Amino acid sequence: MQIILSILFAVLLPSTVNTTTGEEYGPTLTMDDNTLYFVGLNREEPNMTEDIFVSHRDRKTGEWSTARVVPGLSSPHRNEAPTSVSGDGRTMLVFVEGRMCFSVRGPQGWSEPRPLPRHLQLGNWQADAMITADGKALIFAANYPDENEEKPSLNIFVSERTEQGWGIPYSIGPTINTAGMERSPFLHPDMKTLYFSSDREGTLGELDVWVSRRLADSCWNCWSEPENLGPEINTTGRDCWYKISADGKTAYYAQKNGRRHDIYCVELPEDKRPEPITVLARNEAVAINNLLFETASDVIMPSSLPELKRIAQFIQTYGFAVRLAGHTDNIGKAEDNKDLSQRRAESVKRQLVAFGCDAEKIRAFGYGDTKPVADNATEEGRQANRRVEITIQ
């Protein structure tokens, strides 16, 4: 089924995810975009309260598996919803009866959700919590007054991680929060682009999705003026629970189809996308995006440093070991290409170490032109072959 949103097409996820009898909403993706957690309601007995379901995407076919309820995270007597999954896939933040909780995945599956510390539980209702990709901040919505409000409204707050644990939450700032309703924050792994739902002035329906960009990586209350995603995305109804794929191209969300919610996906307009990032996946080699060297050199261009810093923060947060592999096109002598690829991989290692990574956990190799991923007969192909790949282990 397709719903035409202006020139965009919203695609209903298949019957392996959506049902004809129940409701599906609150989609939450893992970092590799291949595992989808969501809320299921009235899908089948005894699913009469909100429960957490999971579906896996086949890497080769792109098809979603038949969704199953997640043991340990779901109870027939409580309302539960997934709100985010950590970058390493081992920790999930969970909404349980109006409180923020967390669950840890072990050899036997997900643990029983436990509440986050009391000082994070602002007001009588908190939800939509997520931990940023670098693991250093918690962003969530709460029915609690902003610093400029006399009465509570639904606002977005942030807590920063310290050596002692999560700090006291504070408002994400008046550029985002209004006297109305702000909820469902999603900060893309680029650590800059924030999507959230609001009924602020300019909203087309009950709730619209807006986008704002962080103006500096040293503050959490400095944001650009939010932009409405427009009628191509927003409807006259309640647009909420938007999650953006790691490559920044696709939004997953819930939309009412008659009386029921179902989960859809839609391709985002280019001007509303986050910055492209390197999507890291365990035991999978991926080329580092935005990595440029001076011509025929191992000197990293300054424009590449923000992406390497983001990767370094991710590695440090989860303690990963890393394998780097340098590659070149086939122009020049094979021995020279192998040497250059080795030096470039080692240059990336030095930069990651400079950003705080453990040198003992990083290995660097050079393969020259022996492992092309594209045809060297074209400039586009040669450019694709000139790369440094990273594998987290």
pLDDT digits (tens, 9 = 90+) for 138-147: 999 999 887 7
Give the start-to-end residue ranges of the domains of the chain.
2-272, 286-392
235-245: average pLDDT:
86
Secondary structure class of 333 (helix, strand, coil): coil
Whether the pLDDT of residue 325 is over 70: the answer is yes
What secondary structure letter does DSSP report for 44? S
Secondary structure class of 361 (helix, strand, coil): helix
Helices (H), the chain: 305-318, 334-354, 379-385
- In angstroms, the CA 289 to CA 22 distance is 41
User: Nearest CA to 266 among 239, 303, 292, 285?
Assistant: 239
- Residue 271: per-residue pLDDT: 86
Question: Under a CB-based contact definition with an 8 Å cutoff, are residues 39 and 51 in contact?
Answer: yes
Question: Which of 58-72, 178-192, 252-266 comes out lowest in average pLDDT?
Answer: 252-266
- In angstroms, the CA 224 to CA 274 distance is 14
User: Nearest CA to 50 among 59, 42, 60?
Assistant: 42
- Residue 257: per-residue pLDDT: 66
Question: Under a CB-based contact definition with an 8 Å cutoff, are residues 47 and 73 in contact?
Answer: no
> What is the helix (H) or strand (E) element at residue 73, kind and residue range?
none
Whether the pLDDT of residue 61 is over 90: the answer is yes
Whether the pLDDT of residue 148 is over 80: the answer is no
Phi, psi of 140 (to 5 degrees): -155, 170
214-233 residue pLDDT tens: 998 889 999 999 999 888 78
pLDDT band at 281 (very low <50, low <70, confident <90, very high): confident
Pick the CATH number of 286-392 from 3.30.1330.60, 3.10.20.310, 1.20.1560.10, 3.40.50.720: 3.30.1330.60
- In angstroms, the CA 76 to CA 51 distance is 8
Please name every residue paired with 109 in a beta bridge, in sequence order, or none if there are none.
106
Strand-pair category, 23-29 with 286-287:
unpaired
- The pTM of this model reads 0.84
- In angstroms, the CA 176 to CA 173 distance is 6
- In angstroms, the CA 101 to CA 172 distance is 21
Whether the pLDDT of residue 45 is over 80: the answer is no
What secondary structure letter does DSSP report for 113? P
Q: Which two tokens stand for residue 383?
A: 């450019």
Please name every residue paired with 389 in a beta bridge, in sequence order, or none if there are none.
287, 325
Q: Give the other-Cβ count within 10 Å of 358's Cβ.
A: 14
- In angstroms, the CA 74 to CA 41 distance is 11
Mean pLDDT in the chain?
90
Give CA angle at 138 (132, 140), nearest 5°: 110
Question: Under a CB-based contact definition with an 8 Å cutoff, are residues 384 and 377 in contact?
Answer: no
- List, in order, residues 6 or more apart from 116 with CB less than 8 Å away: 93, 99, 100, 101, 102, 129, 138, 166
One-letter identity of residue 332: G
Cis-peptide, bond into residue 46, ω within 30° of zero: yes
78-98: average pLDDT:
91
Q: Which two tokens stand for residue 41?
A: 């309601």
- List, in order, residues 6 or more apart from 109 with CB less than 8 Å away: 70, 71, 72
213 versus 47: which is more confidently predicted?
213
Secondary structure class of 359 (helix, strand, coil): helix
Q: Does the domain spanning 2-272 belong to CATH 3.30.300.30? A: no
pLDDT band at 8 (very low <50, low <70, confident <90, very high): low
What secondary structure letter does DSSP report for 6? T
Whether the pLDDT of residue 4 is over 70: the answer is no
- Residue 7: per-residue pLDDT: 53
pLDDT band at 5 (very low <50, low <70, confident <90, very high): very low
Question: Which of 10-19, 145-154, 337-346, 362-371 comes out lowest in average pLDDT?
Answer: 145-154
159-213 residue pLDDT tens: 999 988 999 999 999 999 998 999 999 999 888 999 999 999 999 888 899 999 9
- Residue 339: per-residue pLDDT: 96
314 versus 65: which is more confidently predicted?
65
- Residue 250: per-residue pLDDT: 92
Question: Under a CB-based contact definition with an 8 Å cutoff, are residues 66 and 15 in contact?
Answer: no
Please name every residue paired with 54 in a beta bridge, in sequence order, or none if there are none.
37, 68
Helices (H), 12-101: none
Whether the pLDDT of residue 301 is over 50: the answer is yes
Question: What dihedral do alpha carbons 6, 7, 13, 19 form, nearest 10°?
Answer: 30
295 versus 56: which is more confidently predicted?
56
pLDDT band at 386 (very low <50, low <70, confident <90, very high): very high
